[in-house]
Structure 1
Amino acid sequence: MSAQTKAGAPRRGPMGGHGGHGPGGMMPGEKAKDLKGTLKKLVGFMGRFKVGIAVVLVFAVASTVFTTVGPKVMGQATTELFNGIVAKIGGTGDINFDLIAQILLFTMGLYLISAACSFVQGWMMSSISQRTCYELRRDIASKIDRMPMGYFERNSVGDTLSRITNDVDTLGQSLNQGITQLITSVVSIIGVLVMMLTINPLMTLITVVILPISLGLIMIVVKKSQKFFFAQQKTLGEINGIVEETFSGHAIVKAFNREDGTVDTFNETNARLYNSAWKSQFISGLMQPIMGFVSNLGYVVVAITGSFMAVQGIITVGDIQAFIQYVKNFTQPITQLTQVSNVLQQMAAAAERIFEFLDAPEEEPDHVTARSEDACCGVEFEHVHFGYDPERPVIEDFSATVEEGQTIALVGPTGAGKTTMVKLLMRFYDVQAGSIKIGGHDLREFARDDLRSMFGMVLQDTWLFNGTIRDNIRYGKLDATDEEVEAAAKAAYVYHFIQTLPAGFDTEINEDASNISQGQRQLLTIARAILADRRMLILDEATSSVDTRTEERIQKAMDNLMAGRTSFVIAHRLSTIRSANLILVMRDGDIVEQGTHEQLLELGGFYAELYNSQFAETIDEAEEER
């Protein structure tokens, strides 16, 4: 599979965070907060399918109507057969089999037409629901590219994935099942009620009086089972979380001998799941017997009343048979409506989460007045002010000038604002005051994708996808030849390691890249950056995961790579940035010192303090090893 194809579904994001399909999605039984508003948005979205929905409605109604008329026609055959038998016994006539055959053929025709209409309606509704899912997934995928980086730092990756998978699937299934079921159930109830009234109003009244009994019993069952269903889904989420954590951290569990504790936790949660699951299933399972009891009660009442009326000649035997069938057909759609209500609640809750994401604020549109190919790579930071929370600034007043081709190192303690400066430089965020300029142009004058095409990045958190080593390196330049990929691997000192693998460059990296070491993953990302050959570089602790000997070799490769390029290097190990043209020492969001390595040591300030403390730590570690 090509790198381009694989890139469409990355396993790990480059700016941190692990993806996952955790239990963070919508749970069955969850209700929408704004049902009316959500349904309005859903109806508006599905307006594009109004012709198809109209066809579904017509065929669903037609199918139900033909099915509803069937028992009444069938009753005529029963009446004709009964009258014929009575006449034959009395010697006054015979059974008219021709008429009965005609009635049966007509009834068969009704049911065949009903089945054909049901087939068309089902095919159309399946197409509409899946088309809806397709377009929602497409819109969400497109929306992700327009979302500000802050959204993904405030919300979990699993929640976003759940919206594009679980919630869209729930919406599609609910549309397919719920809407059709709602239409057919309502039409069935109305149609059956009308047909029963045409047969006998008194028996219809008796049936309707019995109806509240079944509804009351159903509501009691639903109310009792709902809390157990909710507990079941909640506990199932806990089970999923335990399993996911246990497998992803399996080595840690074994290293700290926590197998027994993990099993105990799982068993306790599993017991709670069993307790809630059997109760929910048992109580909800009572619905069918209850409805069966009510239906049978209705049959008995109708049979007794109908027999009495038949003796008096008020009603025919065929009408009694048809009415009994209608009693069954009357209670069934009512049961279905109670089930549809839960399905529609799930649909509304899923739709609300989907539209909540689609309606979320996007990045401000680009106002392009500059192009990257027309700009040099000198960078100016002019009184930059920024905070993820505007009330709590991370960078107060940052100013610096970087000449084209210089290597700039950003150093300082954790939380000083080093990575934040990189995010601002890449326009993952925009400054709140001041400006950052490249080649004299404010970053906001460039299109974001054009601006980012100027940068190559190597981050401390390595990002590799499930695919071959060749495709992972080629991700930096999708049209690169095999020779260019291998040359980049040699420049990153990873070629020898790749050659030792059984499949070489065609070795598959697994889903979490655990089949190669952390240092080897870092080398592959460096090879990718070398292959990309961008005009500017951002290196965030690019050699932090490799051993000292490999670090020296990588540093030489990086020096060659950075030659002639404007490079920003974030480093905690100050020994790696001694050759930088300019070192910016950051503290609490401001530059407190700047200069070369030698100048800053002579100054004897904060940088010298950081460097000497690291140098002392290195000596202590060496003495401990001896």
Structure 2
Amino acid sequence: MAQQETASGNIFDSKILKRIFVFVKPYIHLFYLLVFLIIFQGVITPVRPWLTQLTMDDYVAAGDKDGLVMMVGILIAVTAIQALIQFVQVYLSEWIGQHVIRDIRIKLYQHLTTMKTQFYDKTPIGRLVTRNISDVETLSSVFTEGLASIVGDLLQLVFILGIMLYTDWKLTLVSLSSIPLLFVATYIFKEKVKHSFNQVRAAVANLNSFVQEHITGMNIVQIFNSEDIEYEKFKKINKEHLRANLKSVLYYSVYFPVAEVIAAITTGMLVWYGGKGVLQEYTTLGTLIAFIMYISLFFRPIRMIADRFNTLQMGIVSADRILKLLDSKDQIQNTGTYQPEHLNGHVKFKNVWFAYEEENYVLKDISFEVKKGQNLALVGATGSGKSSIINLLSRFYEINKGHIEIDGIDIREYELSALRSKIGVVLQDVFLFSDTIMNNITLGRKDISREKVIQVAEWVGAREFIDRLPNGFDYNVMERGATLSVGQRQLISFVRAMVFDPAIIVLDEATSSVDSETEELIQNAIEKMMKGRTSIVIAHRLATIQKADKIIVLDKGEIKEVGTHEELLEHEGFYAQLYQMQYKELLV
């Protein structure tokens, strides 16, 4: 991970640049205007020194007051035009850059929403957040301080050098005498800053990772009284971040004064040589003044180019990471076209094999059938494959072998959103966004009315506690629903599942983490939800599934027993042993 974070890209990687500039196409006419302005800015920049030379030699020296007033007016007009062009150029480059990174960020987020659940199992969330936020922001430098600015600076240097040579080649040679020294200083600065940027990026990545992880797990830190230990760790990581940034600051604070000293030496040499020329009358005062202005204009872009090259390099690195993520193929293949208005809910697994990694199968030759309106319960120890079965039903993962059918049609033939909209899932770990209860239930769907949400909440049994909250359904539950109890979050998840009126209900350990009083309320809600619908229930508490039409006992990914509660107890196998163990715990 650290190596990836500190990689240095090739500035002129044509493949990456070509793919990035595809995002410029919607704004291509504005981009052409920007290129024109950059070229025009490069052409007009040397005009002011030339006009100054003309004013001094042709009007001031001749004592022509009217001509002097005219030239001053022209100088003011040229300066105003140059300022206006610079304003438009800077604003336009920023405008294009911001719109492009907005489009890239939207495309990247949209891409992430189509990825398989397995992709998120393997990829750290912090890395994905960095790609979507930090890397996209860094990429903006390619447009705001990148190629366009570098090309503009180079054009300005070419035009200035050309007019200097045309005006006086001897003064030009004197002016350029210290350029090799500036190039050496610039190269050293570029390499040092690139290295420090890499260190800063690595330090930021470590700092972000530590803070995110430890704030999320702060309760564990406090439970085990590890505040002082973690504080010392944070101080060490933060110190590395400080050291890396100070290195970068040091290089900047050294380079720019050095560049100014070199420019001052050049100016001094120019004044000495040009002054002799003026006194001996083989050059003019206007030419000398113009060359002093040329030197100032010539050194400025050279100083900036080194910094812009490093900034652009970081942008290319970020672009490479973003493009690699966009190129990832861990997407669910949504090739199905079947979109039924209603489902009966007849579920059938046929010889299903599934592995999260290669051939380490967690489900082995699973076959069962749940008819419309039936209630199937899945029982087994942790890791037996219960959650894997319900994940496969909604196509959160793809099976390796076999078939899964709903109403006699393979689930891969269903359009993905049509399939999932007919399956209501309630998980053990309820996730609520930092938003209102209403928005957590509808998830932003405009076709679900407030009246329907209230009606379903009352039907499920959740409205009573919601009405007691400040602002009721508009109450903000904060991050992950931290201000609500486990049971309240579970009831909200029931409402969220039922507002879509699913044909199939899936309950994954829905009552494993609540007290007995809340469990009774939830059980009443579950009975209402199951009525007339096909339901698949996972439960550790066997007392909650005794009324199931069919119970499947899983062990190490295989079906060991199938039957009703009474049948399985009579069989005296896996299920009977589990039941007796729980019964003994209740007696104790």
Is contact 2:60-2:68 (8 Å) kept?
no
Among 54, 62, 72, which residue is 2:50 paired with? 72
Give matches, 1:214-613, under 5 Å.
Answer: 214-361=182-329, 362-368=331-337, 370-373=338-341, 375-475=343-443, 479-480=447-448, 482=450, 484-613=452-581
Q: Deviations over 1:465-520 (max 9, x none)?
A: 22222333344975555554344334444333334334333322113321122222
1:109-156 Cα shifts (integer Å, max 9, x gaps): 222222232233233323322221232233223323433332222223
Distance 2:251 2:69 in 1: 46
Equivalent pair of 1:24/1:159 in contact (CA under 8 Å):
no
Higher RCO structure, 1 or 2 (CA under 8 Å, sep 6+)? 1
Instruction: Check 1:448–1:24 CA distance in 2 against 1; reply closer, same or farther (3 A cut).
Output: farther
SS at match of 1:315: coil
Query: Does the 8 Å CA contact 1:412/1:587 hold for their aligned counterparts?
Result: yes
**Alpha-carbon offset, residue 531 of structure 1:** 3.4
2:203 and 2:240 in contact (8 A); partners too:
yes
| Shift in Å, 1:45 | 3.6
Kindly indicate whether the alpha-carbon contact (under 8 Å) linking 2:342 and 2:503 is maintained by their aligned counterparts in 1.
no
User: Residue 44 and residue 448 in structure 1: after superposition, are their counterparts in 2 closer, same or farther (change >3 A)?
Assistant: same
- The Cα offsets for residues 403-447 of structure 1, whole Å up to 9 and x where unpaired, read as 111111112122222211112111122322211111111111111
How far apart, CA to CA, are the structure 2 residues paired with 1:476 and 1:185?
48
Shift of the 375–495 alpha-carbon distance from structure 1 to 2, 3 Å rule, reads: closer
Q: Distance in 2 between matches of 1:151 and 1:359?
A: 13
SS of the equivalent of 1:209 reads coil
Q: Distance in 1 between matches of 2:261 and 2:303?
A: 13
TM-score (norm. length: structure 2): 0.93
Deviations 1:535-583 (CA, angstroms, capped at 9, x unpaired): 1101011112211222123112212220221111112222221111111
Contact kept, 8 Å, 1:64 with 1:184, in 2: the verdict is: yes
Change (3 A) 1:177 1:223: closer
Alignment of 1:14-93 (within 5 A): 30-31=8-9, 35-80=13-58, 83-84=61-62
Q: Could you tell which deviates more after superposition, 248-257 or 417-426? A: 248-257
Q: Which runs of 5+ in 2 are unaligned?
A: none
Report whether the alignment pairs 1:155 with 2:133: no
Given the superposition, is the C-alpha separation of residues 549 and 162 from structure 1 closer, same or farther in structure 2, using an over 3 Å criterion? Answer: same
Once residues 314 and 98 of structure 1 are traced to their aligned partners in structure 2, the CA distance between those partners, rounded to angstroms, is: 27
The CA distance in 2 between the partners of 1:305 and 1:592, in whole Å, is 99
Paired with 1:48 and 1:24, the residues of 2 have a C-alpha distance of 35
Which letter does structure 1 place at the counterpart of 2:57? T
Residues in 2 aligned to 1:381 and 1:244: alpha-carbon distance in whole angstroms: 41
Q: Which amino acid aligns with 2:56?
A: T
8 Å CA contact 1:458, 1:529 repeated in 2: yes
DSSP-derived class of the 1:218 partner: helix
The alpha-carbon distance between structure 1 residues 589 and 516, as it changes in their structure 2 partners (threshold 3 A), is same
Cα RMSD after superposing both structures: 2.6
Q: Is the 8 A contact 1:67 1:110 kept in 2?
A: no
Measured after TM superposition, the shift of residue 48 of structure 1 is 4.2
Gaps of 5+ in 1: 1-22, 85-94, 621-626
Q: 1:416 touches 1:589 (CA, 8 Å); kept in 2?
A: yes
Do the aligned residues in 1 keep the contact of 2:454 with 2:463 (CA within 8 Å)? yes
Shift in alpha-carbon separation, 1:534–1:477, aligned structure 2, 3 A: farther
* Structure 1 Cα separation of the partners of residues 237 and 458 of structure 2: 51
Distance 1:356 1:435 in 2: 33
Residue 108 of structure 1 deviates from its aligned partner by 1.9
Tell me the percent identity: 32
Which region of structure 1 is more displaced relative to structure 2, 174-183 or 53-62?
174-183
Task: Please list the CA deviations of residues 195-242 of structure 1 after superposition, one character each: whole Å capped at 9, or x if unmatched.
Answer: 110122122223333111112122223333443443333333333344
3-state SS, counterpart of residue 373 of structure 1: coil
User: What secondary structure does 1:467 align onto?
Assistant: coil
**1:509 partner SS:** coil
Q: Output the amino acid matched with 1:574.
A: L
Structure-2 change in CA distance of 1:381 and 1:110 (3 Å) = same
Residue 551 of structure 2 contacts residue 562 of structure 2 at CA under 8 Å; is this kept in 1? yes
Name which of structure 1's ranges 264-273 and 561-570 shifts more when overlaid on structure 2. 264-273
Q: Which amino acid aligns with 2:504?
A: M
Give the residue type in structure 2 aligned to 1:73: L
Q: 1:28 to 1:71 in 2, by over 3 A?
A: farther
Amino acid at match of 1:201: W
Go from structure 1 to structure 2 and tell me whether the alpha carbon gap of 1:269 and 1:518 turns closer, same or farther (over 3 Å shift).
same
Relative to 1, partners in 2 of residues 1:619 and 1:491: Cα closer, same or farther, differing over 3 Å? farther
Match of 1:623 in 2: none
Deviation of the 1:400 alpha carbon: 0.9
In 2, are the aligned partners of 1:411 and 1:418 still within 8 Å (CA)?
A: yes
Of the three residues 176, 200, 203, the one matched with 2:144 is 176
State the SS of the aligned residue for 2:364. Answer: strand
Superposed CA offset, 1:287-324 (max 9, x none): 11010011011111111121222233321111111111
Choose 298-307 or 216-225, whichever is displaced more.
Answer: 216-225
Give the Å deviation of 1:360: 1.9
- Kindly indicate whether the alpha-carbon contact (under 8 Å) linking 2:11 and 2:312 is maintained by their aligned counterparts in 1: no
Residues 69 and 195, structure 1, Cα contact 8 Å, conserved in 2 = no
Check conservation: 1:32, 1:352, Cα contact below 8 A: no
Give the direction of change, closer, same or farther, for the CA distance of 1:203–1:475 in structure 2 (3 Å limit). Answer: closer
- The separation in 2 between residues aligned to 1:477 and 1:122, in whole angstroms, is 40
1:175 positional shift = 0.8
Q: Partners in 1 of 2:363 and 2:32 — Cα distance?
A: 58
